[in-house]
């Protein structure tokens, strides 16, 4: 049974501006101006395609990573980075002082060819420019018993828009346990996920690709995490979340959207998303 987390969220949720201020002025070996500059350099780097840059206005990478507390001396594990949209931002920030692990699903024969190609392309991307990606390391995992890097060595674990896939596959609990195991005590888990309306049934969540905050918080809490904060950075009030093809009707996919409806979905933009920050006690 899912716990009612409304009161908990009301205590930890603040505005994007105030959370950004907290992240910027948090104590650490790197001052606010320096981490902000490093992120700007990475986000504005020539290695990023115009197509990827176009998503920045929906995904708010700088604000999101500052909210999670990214610092260049950290060891960071990104789980299921897909084509590497966030990798090309995070890995360059860590290349000189930190360590970046990309945890990707193990390639198996029954995997769709599109996923096999994506894995190959991702590996080629990291290998293409060591001066940009540094010593980035790829770790393969089995979702039934995932290991995302050396145990208790990461300062931060991050995953973006993946929880719905794991919930559908029935291995969300194992994945969150994997996050917990890879982190040091005091380590941070950052999760961005398509957000369903409170009270949405589990079946509707799976069918639509939108998950409730309660589901994600429960999964993290059951693994041992404590919720620290929730940000409105990636909110989208234009997203009604009732699209016939679920979240996949929205950009960048626009899956099965008739030509006459494309403008309407493009005007909505990418999905409304929760941005949750947890700690390993």
Domain extent listing, the chain: 6-279
Q: What is the pLDDT of residue 21?
A: 52
Q: Cβ distance 270 to 55 under 8 Å? A: yes
Averaged pLDDT score across all residues of the chain: 91
pLDDT digits (tens, 9 = 90+) for 125-173: 999 999 999 889 999 999 999 999 999 999 999 999 999 999 999 999 9
Q: What percent of the chain has pLDDT over 70?
A: 89
12-21, 114-123, 163-172, 183-192: least confident range: 12-21
pLDDT band of residue 2 (cuts 50, 70, 90) is: very low
Q: Cβ distance 237 to 229 under 8 Å? A: no
Distance CA 191, CA 167 (A): 14
CA angle 192, 270, 25 (to 5 degrees): 45
Please state which CATH class domain 6-279 belongs to.
alpha beta
12-21, 48-57, 207-216, 258-267: least confident range: 12-21
Distance CA 175, CA 144 (A): 8
- Given CA atoms 180, 189, 95, 74 in this order, what sign does their dihedral have? negative
Which spans in 25-129 are helix H?
32-43, 50-53, 56-59, 61-68, 87-94, 113-128
pTM to 2 decimals? 0.91
- Terminal C-alpha separation, the chain: 23
- Given CA atoms 277, 66, 269, 163 in this order, what sign does their dihedral have? negative
Q: Cβ distance 210 to 243 under 8 Å? A: no
Residues 6+ apart with CB under 8 A from 229: 12, 13, 14, 19, 67, 276, 277
Residue of 143, 158, 231, 224 lying closest to 195 (CA atoms) = 231
Q: What is the pLDDT of residue 33?
A: 84
Q: What is the pLDDT of residue 29?
A: 47
Provide the pairing of β-strand 137-141 with 183-194.
unpaired
């Amino acid at each position: 049974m899912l716990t009612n987390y409304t009161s908990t969220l009301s205590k930890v949720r603040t505005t994007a501006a105030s959370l950004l201020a907290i992240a910027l002025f948090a104590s650490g070996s790197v001052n606010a101006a320096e981490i902000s500059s490093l992120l700007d350099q990475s986000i504005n780097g020539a290695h990023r395609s115009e197509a990827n840059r176009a998503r920045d206005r929906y995904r708010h990478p700088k604000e999101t990573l500052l909210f999670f507390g990214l610092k260049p001396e950290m060891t960071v594990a990104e789980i299921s980075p897909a084509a590497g949209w966030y990798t090309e931002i995070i890995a360059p920030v860590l290349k000189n002082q930190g360590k970046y692990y990309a945890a990707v699903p193990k390639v198996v024969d029954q995997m769709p060819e599109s996923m096999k190609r994506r894995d190959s392309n991702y590996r080629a991307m990291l290998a293409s420019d060591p001066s940009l990606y540094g010593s980035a390391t790829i770790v393969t995992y089995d979702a039934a018993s995932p290991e995302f890097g050396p145990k208790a060595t990461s300062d931060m674990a991050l995953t973006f828009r993946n929880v719905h896939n794991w919930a559908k596959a029935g291995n969300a609990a194992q994945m969150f346990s994997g996050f917990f195991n890879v982190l040091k005590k005091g380590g941070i888990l950052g999760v961005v996920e398509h957000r369903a309306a409170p009270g949405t049934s589990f079946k509707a969540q799976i069918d639509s690709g939108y998950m409730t905050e309660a589901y994600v918080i429960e999964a993290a809490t059951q693994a041992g995490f404590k919720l620290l904060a929730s940000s409105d950075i990636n909110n989208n009030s234009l997203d009604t979340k009732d699209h016939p093809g679920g979240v996949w009707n929205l950009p960048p996919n626009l899956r099965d959207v008739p030509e006459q409806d494309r403008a309407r979905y493009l005007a909505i933009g990418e999905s409304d998303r929760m941005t949750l920050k947890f700690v390993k006690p």
